[in-house]
């Protein structure tokens, strides 16, 4: 019964001091909103980067690039591998015979312009490959499908996100035709565009502008087997990737006359190169979030301390009228908790709005984690409660007349 | 048994620039149903004495028995219970909680006493009617005059039917007519309910309306008009205020 009365008293007290309650809550709202939205946007950026990276090759796939790429210095990426190729179809043959290897897809670049019947474009990247390619990448389709075994030798094509926009605008491209090097190709699929913000982290040329053609068809229209830029190996399980990669390396060194003129890349290889960058990013984000948490905490503390004098007198008077110390303290505690919880809740709602809005501007999808919300909420609530209660405890210890005369 | 019994009470304030002796060797007994005025010039210690009696402050030496119970031996919640149920205190200032309405202020002792909302609201309005402020029930303290604040404080002091009413300068801010009304009301309470009433005042006009006057000067009791008082210290210096001089604080 008494608890309920204290609760009501806390509410009466809060609603009768609307400005003070609001200012206190504001400190918590700002602290929580700032921290949660910053962490959410940061997590969103990290995820976008990681998605882009892992999109280069899946967890259960291995890429073999022509030439030796030095990943540690972050140099060149895939671009340096486009040139004289050291990979051949023979590599494809013996690699596909390795244990745990399901398939090997060659990836070649061919030259040519693309015509949509009205204009000729040269911004597209013409990629010749085989069906297993789609198993080694994470391809998100807007419509249609990738090249499959029944398309062997046929004049069909799959468009990357930007390529489709460039050739056909926002209209659906399925079933339409394009002309490459004198041959008409029917579009059997087109991919979605991905977050552009993370594309600068891509470890290769942007596949947004790709037009995928069946390998044998490409051989036909160019008159010879196109030079292979990359081999994409589909492994049965992600756990076997490292052993297969090692086996591939030794096999290929033998096959290339003792030369390691290629680079074997697993997803973890690529991820580890950007790990440093991602760690730095994380540290930076955490630092900013901590500062805003500190600022929010100071704001809460300030407003609590400002009202200490007034509240000390109030405590003295309540005790003189007949409230016990514990009654008064539980009233103040409830007030502090209510303000902290309500402020925290509003702060989270504001954070979701802020992060989503900012994310739309920057083309990042924010990621809200329970840890981020818990941290912001917990710290702000703790500060609100501690600074709400400490002066009250101090005041309740005084003799009533002392508290009444507080200045 | 006496309601109030003070034995050799002393009070030293150490939280000032130099230790101040506010009360010294106070022996005072007040019986049930008495109507007492404590009078003295400013700084005499009369308010300090009142604070001790009202359980608002703790004396640095001596013993205080309230209804036969040694106050120093009581714990926090027992003291709170006494303040709530036994004592009605009217302060000189800082009487009302500024953010609560008048009626919410009057209700407060009843809230702490666990009285349900309907009943306590009814009682609070009844008390406000008693002091003539029924129509100000929903005003905030800053919206009423000083005198009205005092009357609200008196209404609140009566909330729990206290057997001991203590008033520190209850008529300090009031004109003659309102003063008389307050004292008359207090006397009526004393006669009708048998409540023990102690008033602190510097105004002898008020003091003569009570049954007994205790004079305090320099922290000591220098005179006590009660027949029961065994010690009556008379000092040569006359009482400072003349009956016709009004002092406003």
Model confidence band, residue B247 (pLDDT cutoffs 50, 70, 90): very low
pLDDT tens column, B46-96 = 989 999 999 999 999 999 999 888 999 889 889 999 999 999 998 877 789
A238 touches chain B (CB under 8 A): no
| CA dist., res. B145 & res. B161, Å (int) | 26
Q: Is A283 helix (H, G, I), strand (E, B) or coil?
A: helix
CB pairs under 8 A between A and B: 72
Q: At what angle do helices A18-56 and A370-397 cross, to 10 degrees?
A: 160
Query: Mean pLDDT across chain A, nearest whole number?
Result: 82
Angle subtended by helix axes B117-130 and B102-112, to nearest 10: 130
- Say if residues A158 and A189 touch (Cβ distance below 8 Å): yes
Contacts of B109 in chain A (CB under 8 A): 321-322
Residue A88 contacts residue A228 (beta carbons within 8 Å): yes
Selected residue with higher pLDDT from B122 and A82 = B122
- Please choose, from the candidates B43, B80, B198, B51, the residue with its C-alpha nearest in 3D space to the C-alpha of residue A401: B51
Residue B85 contacts A, CB cutoff 8 Å: yes
**Residues B178, B181, B183: CA angle, nearest 5 degrees:** 110
Whether A322 and B57 lie within 8 Å, measured CB to CB: no
**DSSP letters spanning A101-170:** EEEEEEEEEE---EE-SS-EE---EEEEE-TTHHHHS---EEEE----GGGTTS-EEEE-HHHHHHHHTT
pLDDT of residue A407: 62
In contact, B91 and B165? CB cutoff 8 Å: no
The percent helix, strand, coil of chain A (3-state, each to 5) is: 60, 15, 25
Residues A108 and A84: beta-carbon distance below 8 Å: no
Q: Can you give the pLDDT at residue A1?
A: 53
Question: Which of A18, A321, A401 would best serve as a mutation to test chain B binding (most B beta carbons within 10 A)?
Answer: A321
Instruction: Give the C-alpha separation, A81 to A204, whole Å.
Output: 9
Residues of chain A with pLDDT under 50: 74-82, 197-204
CB under 8 Å to A307, separation ≥6 — which residues?
Answer: A17, A20
Among B51, B76, B112, the residue with its CB nearest the CB of A321 is B112
List pLDDT tens digits, range B11-30. 998 877 788 888 999 999 99
Residues facing B66 on adjacent strands? B4, B69
The mean predicted confidence, pLDDT, of chain B is 85
Which chain A residues touch B80 with a CB distance below 8 Å?
319, 322-325, 327
Say what the pLDDT of residue A11 is: 81
How far is the alpha carbon of A35 from chain B, nearest alpha carbon, in Å? 34
CB contact under 8 A, B99 and A401: no
Pick the residue from chain B with its C-alpha nearest to A398.
Answer: B57
> Which secondary structure element, helix H or strand E, spans residue A280, and what is its range?
helix A267-306
For residue B230, pLDDT beyond 70: no
Residue B166 confidence (pLDDT): 94
C-alpha to C-alpha distance for B44 and B239, rounded to whole angstroms: 12
Say if CB A202 and CB A56 are below 8 A apart.
yes
Q: Residue A201: what pLDDT?
A: 43
User: pLDDT of A341-389, one tens digit each?
Assistant: 888 899 999 999 999 998 888 878 888 889 888 888 888 788 878 887 8
Q: Which helix (H) or strand (E) holds B78?
A: helix B76-85
Considering only the beta carbons, identify the residue of B89, B98, B99 that sits closest to A320: B89
Number of neighbouring beta carbons within 10 Å of residue B118 = 8
Which of A313, A321, A324 shows the shortest C-beta gap to B108? A321
Contact A324 B77 (CB under 8 A): yes
CB contact under 8 A, B109 and A321: yes
Per residue in B106-120, pLDDT tens?
Answer: 999 999 988 899 999
Q: Cα–Cα–Cα angle for B153, B154, B157, nearest 5°? A: 90
- Distance from C-alpha of B208 to C-alpha of A103, rounded to nearest angstrom: 113
For residue A90, the 8-state DSSP code is H
Confidence of residue B227 (pLDDT cuts 50, 70, 90): low
* pLDDT per residue as tens digits for the range B148-161: 888 898 899 999 88
**ipTM of this predicted structure:** 0.84
Structural domain spans, chain B: 97-159
Statement: residue B34 has pLDDT above 50: yes
For residue B227, give how far its alpha carbon lies from the nearest alpha carbon of chain A (Å). Answer: 32
Min CA distance, B228 vs chain A (Å)?
30
One-character DSSP codes across A294-308 = HHHHHHHHHHHHHTH
- CA distance readout (Å), B171 to A55, A110, B90, B185: 85, 104, 11, 12
pTM above 0.80, yes or no: no
Contact A17 B99 (CB under 8 A): yes
Query: In this structure, are residues A382 and A302 in contact, taking their beta carbons and an 8 Å threshold?
Result: no
Confidence of residue B35 (pLDDT cuts 50, 70, 90): very high
- Judge: A326–B109 Cβ closer than 8 Å, yes or no: no
For residues B122 and B107, give the distance between their C-alpha atoms in angstroms, rounded to a whole number.
9
Q: State residue A56's pLDDT score.
A: 66
Most A CBs within 10 Å: which of B99, B102, B155, as the mutation test of the A interface? B99
Annotated domain spans of chain A = 2-52+275-404, 61-236
CA–CA separation, B141 and A86 (whole Å)? 91
Which of A67, A138, A105 shows the shortest CA–CA distance to A218?
A105
* Least CB–CB distance from A321: residue in B58, B83, B104: B83
pLDDT confidence of residue B151: 84
Q: Is the pLDDT of residue B237 over 70?
A: no
Cα separation, B96 vs B103, in Å, equals 11
**How far, in Å, CA of B115 to CA of A31, rounded?**
40
């Amino acid at each position: 019964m008494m608890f309920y009365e204290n609760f009501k008293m806390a509410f009466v007290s809060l609603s009768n001091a609307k400005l003070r309650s609001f200012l206190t809550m504001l400190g918590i709202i700002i602290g929580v909103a700032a921290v949660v939205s910053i962490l959410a946007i940061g997590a969103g950026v990290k995820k976008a980067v990681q998605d882009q990276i892992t999109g280069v090759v899946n967890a259960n796939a291995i890429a073999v690039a022509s030439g030796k790429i030095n990943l540690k210095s972050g140099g060149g990426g895939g671009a340096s591998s486009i040139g004289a190729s050291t990979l051949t179809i023979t590599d494809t043959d013996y690699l596909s015979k390795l244990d745990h290897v399901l398939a090997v897809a060659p990836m070649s670049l061919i030259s040519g312009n693309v015509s949509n019947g009205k204009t000729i474009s040269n911004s597209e990247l013409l990629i010749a490959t085989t069906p297993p390619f789609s198993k080694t990448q994470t391809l998100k389709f807007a419509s249609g499908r990738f090249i499959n075994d029944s398309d062997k030798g046929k004049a069909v094509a799959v468009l990357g996100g930007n390529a489709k926009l460039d050739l056909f605008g926002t209209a659906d491209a399925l079933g339409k035709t394009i002309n490459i090097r004198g041959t008409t190709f029917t579009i059997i699929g087109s991919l979605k565009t991905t977050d552009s913000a993370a594309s600068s982290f891509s470890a290769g040329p942007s596949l947004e502008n790709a037009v995928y053609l069946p390998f044998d068809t490409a051989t036909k229209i160019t008159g010879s087997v196109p030079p292979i830029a990359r081999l994409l190996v589909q492994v049965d399980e992600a756990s076997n990737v490292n052993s297969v990669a090692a086996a591939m390396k030794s096999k290929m060194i033998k096959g290339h006359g003792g030369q390691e003129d290629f680079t074997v890349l697993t997803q973890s290889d690529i991820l580890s190169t950007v790990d440093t960058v991602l760690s730095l990013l994380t540290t930076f984000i955490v630092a900013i979030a901590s500062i805003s948490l500190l600022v929010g905490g100071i704001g809460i503390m300030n407003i609590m301390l400002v009202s200490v004098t007034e509240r000390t007198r109030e405590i003295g008077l309540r005790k003189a009228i007949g409230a016990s110390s514990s009654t008064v303290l539980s009233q103040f505690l409830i007030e502090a908790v209510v303000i902290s919880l309500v402020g925290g809740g509003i702060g989270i709602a504001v954070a979701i709005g802020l992060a989503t809005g900012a994310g739309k501007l920057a083309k990042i999808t924010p990621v809200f984690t329970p840890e981020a919300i818990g941290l912001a909420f917990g710290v702000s609530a703790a500060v609100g409660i501690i600074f709400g209660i400490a002066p009250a405890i101090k005041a309740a210890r005084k003799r009533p007349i002392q508290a009444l005369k507080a200045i | 048994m006496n309601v109030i019994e003070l034995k050799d009470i002393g009070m030293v304030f150490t939280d000032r620039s130099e230790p101040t002796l506010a009360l010294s060797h106070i022996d005072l007994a007040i019986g049930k149903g008495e109507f007492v005025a404590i009078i003295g010039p400013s700084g005499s210690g009369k308010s300090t004495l009142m604070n001790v009696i009202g359980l608002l402050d703790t004396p640095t030496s001596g013993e205080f028995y309230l209804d036969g119970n040694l106050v120093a031996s009581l714990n926090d919640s027992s003291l709170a219970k006494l303040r709530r149920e036994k004592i009605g205190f009217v302060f000189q200032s800082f009487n009302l909680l500024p953010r609560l309405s008048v009626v919410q202020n009057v209700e407060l002792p009843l809230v702490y006493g666990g009285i349900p909302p309907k009943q306590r609201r009814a009682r609070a309005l009844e008390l406000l009617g008693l002091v003539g402020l029924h129509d100000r029930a929903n005003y905030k303290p800053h919206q009423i005059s000083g005198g009205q604040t005092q009357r609200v404080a008196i209404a609140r002091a009566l909330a729990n039917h206290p057997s001991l009413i203590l008033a520190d300068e209850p008529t300090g801010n009031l004109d003659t007519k309102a003063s008389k009304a307050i004292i008359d009301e207090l006397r009526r309470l004393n006669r009708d309910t048998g409540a023990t009433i102690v008033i602190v005042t510097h105004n002898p006009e008020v003091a003569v309306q009570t049954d007994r006057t205790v004079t305090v000067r320099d922290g000591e009791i220098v005179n006590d008009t009660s027949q029961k008082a065994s010690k009556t210290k008379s000092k040569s210096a006359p009482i400072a205020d003349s009956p016709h001089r009004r002092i406003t604080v």
